[in-house]
Amino acid sequence: MLKLRITKHFPSVYMVSNPLPAVRSPRRQVPAARDLAPKTHDAQSAAAEVLVVLPQVMDAMRLAMRSQLDGPLTVPQFRGLNYIDRHPGSSVSALAGFLGVTLATASAMAHRLVLAGHLQARGSLNDRRRTELQLCASGKALLERMRSRTQSDLARALQDCTPTQLSALVQGLGVLSAAFPRLESPGVKSL
């Protein structure tokens, strides 16, 4: 018989487990503040750390967000809504490029999101052959709800960190943000 249990760090993620007695894993070790003391790193060693840590964080975020997908919304549709939120006025072609699908697939997906009331498609004022995509109020509300729940899941995962560790984390994220500014996608013009 299989049981459902809620994972420690991401309560909204349900996992299937065997009916064996629960064995507590040792408490996750959070680095001590002294371990966060400034160390000398070059760009290569810092990049190596980014390659190790960011995929773990992205996996946790994906699990938390996917666990919230309800109803007929698929993961590609969710990704499409996120893309349009970050790039309002994008074309169906830009959406297809982002998702790595054909124009026909992106067009059909956008049409389903329009029918669901999450997306609005309108003809461009500058090019009659271009369709621009915008989120509707329900699409924005859906994304906000999912982001809020995911933020809560991430906060639970970070709850054992000290204020000093959390400050160091936020400072490090600021460094990453400055090093990797958001790039415009092809076909999306600055506002």
Q: Higher-confidence residue: 62 or 112? A: 112
CA distance 39 to 61: 28
Q: What is the mean pLDDT of residues 129-148?
A: 91
Q: Higher-confidence residue: 73 or 77? A: 77
pLDDT of residue 68: 76
Average model confidence (pLDDT) for the chain?
Answer: 78
Confidence tier at 104 by pLDDT (50, 70, 90): very high
Return the minimum-mean-pLDDT range out of 37-51, 143-157, 174-188.
174-188
Write out pLDDT tens, residues 161-180: 999 999 999 999 999 999 98
Write out pLDDT tens, residues 29-53: 555 544 555 677 789 998 999 999 9
Please say if the pLDDT value at position 190 is more than 70. no
Secondary structure (DSSP) of 42-65:
-HHHHHHHHHHHHHHHHHHHHHHH
Tally of CB atoms within 10 A around 58? 10
Q: Please list the alpha-helical segments (H only) found in 34-162.
A: 43-66, 75-86, 92-99, 103-115, 137-158
| Best CA proximity match to 77, nearest among 15, 124, 123, 133 | 133
